[in-house]
Chains A and B, each alone.
Chain A
Amino acid sequence: MSAEVETVADKQATAGALLRVSSQKISRLMDLVGELSLSVTETVNSPDLDHTGDRTQFEAAAHRLNMIVREVQDAATELRLVPVDEVFKRLKRMIREMERQTGKRISLEVIGADTAIDKMVADRLYDPLLHVLRNSADHGLEQTDERIAAGKPEKGVITLSAAQVGSEVQIVVGDDGRGLNRDKILNIARKRGLYGPDEEPENSKLWKVIFEPGFSTAEKVSNLSGRGVGMDVLNTTMRDLRGRIAVDSTEGVGTQVSLHIPVSLAFLDCILLRQGTHLFAVPVEDIFEIVKPGPESCMSISAGSRAEMLRLRESHVPVCRLETFYGDSLPDLVPLSDTVVIVLKAGSRLIAVPVDEVLDRQQVVMKPLSGVLAQVRASWGCALLGTGEVALVLDAERLAAGEN
């Protein structure tokens, strides 16, 4: 109950929240901004600009300006970074509550609490993490007598760890409990029509079904979990944060749920694309492959309302035309073999998106779509490019799920 109250307060807090920033970080930014203005003056007043010809001085000044701008960008991003411990501390307090409600003895081990993460991300992590923790405490860990019978220490261990991997933060909630029960999950997945009666999906694929809304194997609904609602919160938050979830489990040994989240929401490493007159950006981590298809790897299925497939080595990838998806007046589609095809990871599937041109790889600033732009489908937001242009950041998953 107390958690719910906290949640409401949370949401209010994120709207106009205050942020503690060390004066050191601010000083650094101020210094850089000072240098920035000097550098701009130097560039604008470069003697090379007076006459055509030698441009070495100007180019050196412009290069320096570029470097400083990048540093300002980094310093500004850092202002919003906080240690993930802010979230972990609040979660630690909930463990006692969980012990009381489950009657189990739990010890929480925290690793990498000083990992830095965007404040905006940190503020939204509490609810989904709390949910994963509750699941571990409730379903993962066995009752004390069961643990003793299995030769495990009486006290269950939940590990909460964070680490930065590339531009992502990985947060792992692990327990040393009974692990996921393959038969039970497969059974329910089949009942719900997620898998056919004869399908034997790989574990890593099967585990993902536990994130399906309303999916619960708990025999009884407890105060803590088993309602199958919490996973919705987890899914929604992860989608908003552009994160991914992975599960690993060994029967009798334990389960690990890992959340992969970008460190910062402010900057995004993107590949820029042009399709017709529109510019698009795709986060680098969503790209599986970029191919220039030959005629032999393109296939169209007239029976499937002009559906197209791209042959990618052993498999066929459905083609999603942006111009069709967005319902721009349907021109004659350029043959697939005349386009460049970006193969995107959309959850566990792949989709092939043909474009006219692949432009560049850039760190872009993301802005949310608001007002009349809110209706644009399958997009995370607008990306401001270095050139001052604006591109639409594509959300591969929603593109793949699109009704068109």
Chain B
Amino acid sequence: MTKDQTVPAEAETLLHDDDNIDNMYLTFAIGKETYGVPIAVVTEIVGMQRIMTVPDVPRYIKGVINLRGKVIPLMDVRLRFNLEERAYDDRTVIIVLELSGSPVGLIVDRVSEVLEIADDHIDSARGMGGGEGQGLVEGLGRVGENVAIILNSAMLVSDVELSMPEAVSA
């Protein structure tokens, strides 16, 4: 598994298959857990680069990078999930998403693969964590023996403080 640009290239070819793109997810690892975001919001995957710190942002926004002239804020997904911080290594990557017109980069432990998960293989996460309103987890996608936790990417960047459902972080 390489962490370079192969994934977006793959995503590109898949883009032609308009019918299926809704069911495609890019999966990545945080610790032992596998998470997924809809491929439609992913613009590219880049290696770790020099981060410039910015004041006045939540703790989980580590700073910004300059990606070919675009300023992209980086969110450390571990910190966003209230997990302990982990030193970046050579498998740490940045997944750049475009969410409602603004870019954001997710710092994840490593990127896995692009999976197709049909809607009927995704169990709704509603009611998980017991919180009112919408949570960060959209659902649980069953892929063979494994489970990918599908994230609600819009919630990732919302200001709402998370109370991570115990069931997921455990």
Task: Give A residues with C-beta under 8 Å from B.
Answer: 277-279, 322, 326-328, 365, 367, 370-377, 379, 382, 384, 388-392
Task: Say yes or no: B103 contacts A371, CB within 8 Å.
Answer: yes
Given A365-B69, A382-B64, A390-B71; A371-B56 close (CB under 8 Å): no
What is the bound-complex CA distance between A376 and B63, given in angstroms?
12
Task: Say yes or no: B52 contacts A390, CB within 8 Å.
Answer: yes
Q: Shortest Cβ distance from A265 into chain B, in angstroms?
A: 16
Q: Shortest Cβ distance from B97 into chain A, in angstroms?
A: 10
Given A371-B99, A372-B75, A388-B66; A377-B52 close (CB under 8 Å): no
Look across to chain A and name the residue whose beta carbon is closest to the beta carbon of B74.
A372
The SS class assigned to the A binding surface is mixed
Residues of the B chain whose Cβ atoms lie less than 8 Å from the Cβ of A389: 50, 52, 66
Residues of the B chain whose Cβ atoms lie less than 8 Å from the Cβ of A377: 56
Task: Say yes or no: B69 contacts A392, CB within 8 Å.
Answer: no
Given A382-B64, A390-B66, A390-B71; A375-B57 close (CB under 8 Å): yes
Task: Give B residues with C-beta under 8 Å from A.
Answer: 50, 52-58, 61, 64-66, 69-71, 73, 75, 99-104, 157, 159
What is the bound-complex CA distance between A326 and B61, given in angstroms?
14
Q: Which 3 A-B pairs have the closest CB atoms?
A: A371-B102, A326-B55, A370-B102
Look across to chain A and name the residue whose beta carbon is closest to the beta carbon of B100.
A371
* Interchain CB contact (< 8 A) of B55 among A370, A388, A392: A392
Residues of the B chain whose Cβ atoms lie less than 8 Å from the Cβ of A375: 56-57, 159
Residues of the B chain whose Cβ atoms lie less than 8 Å from the Cβ of A392: 54-55
Which residue of B64, B103, B104 has the most chain A CB atoms within 10 A of its CB atom?
Answer: B64
What is the bound-complex CA distance between A185 and B25, given in angstroms?
65
Look across to chain B and name the residue whose beta carbon is closest to the beta carbon of A327.
B56
Residues of the A chain whose Cβ atoms lie less than 8 Å from the Cβ of B75: 372
Q: Shortest Cβ distance from B106 into chain A, in angstroms?
A: 11
Which residue of B55, B66, B75, B103 has the most chain A CB atoms within 10 A of its CB atom?
Answer: B55
Task: Say yes or no: B157 contacts A371, CB within 8 Å.
Answer: yes
Look across to chain B and name the residue whose beta carbon is closest to the beta carbon of A323.
B55
Residues of the B chain whose Cβ atoms lie less than 8 Å from the Cβ of A382: 64, 71
Given A382-B71, A389-B66; A372-B61 close (CB under 8 Å): yes
Q: 6 interchain pairs (CB within 8 A)?
A: A372-B75, A372-B104, A375-B159, A382-B64, A390-B54, A390-B66
Residues of the B chain whose Cβ atoms lie less than 8 Å from the Cβ of A365: 69
Residues of the B chain whose Cβ atoms lie less than 8 Å from the Cβ of A390: 52, 54, 64-66, 71
Given A371-B157, A373-B64, A375-B159; A384-B54 close (CB under 8 Å): no
Look across to chain A and name the residue whose beta carbon is closest to the beta carbon of B58.
A372
Residues of the B chain whose Cβ atoms lie less than 8 Å from the Cβ of A278: 53-55
What is the bound-complex CA distance between A328 and B71, given in angstroms?
22
Task: Say yes or no: A322 contacts B55, CB within 8 Å.
Answer: yes
Task: Say yes or no: A372 contacts B57, CB within 8 Å.
Answer: yes
Look across to chain A and name the residue whose beta carbon is closest to the beta carbon of B65.
A390
Look across to chain A and name the residue whose beta carbon is closest to the beta carbon of B64.
A390
Task: Say yes or no: B52 contacts A279, CB within 8 Å.
Answer: yes
Task: Say yes or no: A384 contacts B57, CB within 8 Å.
Answer: no
Residues of the B chain whose Cβ atoms lie less than 8 Å from the Cβ of A328: 55
What is the bound-complex CA distance between A390 and B54, given in angstroms?
9
Q: Shortest Cβ distance from B95 into chain A, in angstroms?
A: 15
Task: Say yes or no: B73 contacts A373, CB within 8 Å.
Answer: yes
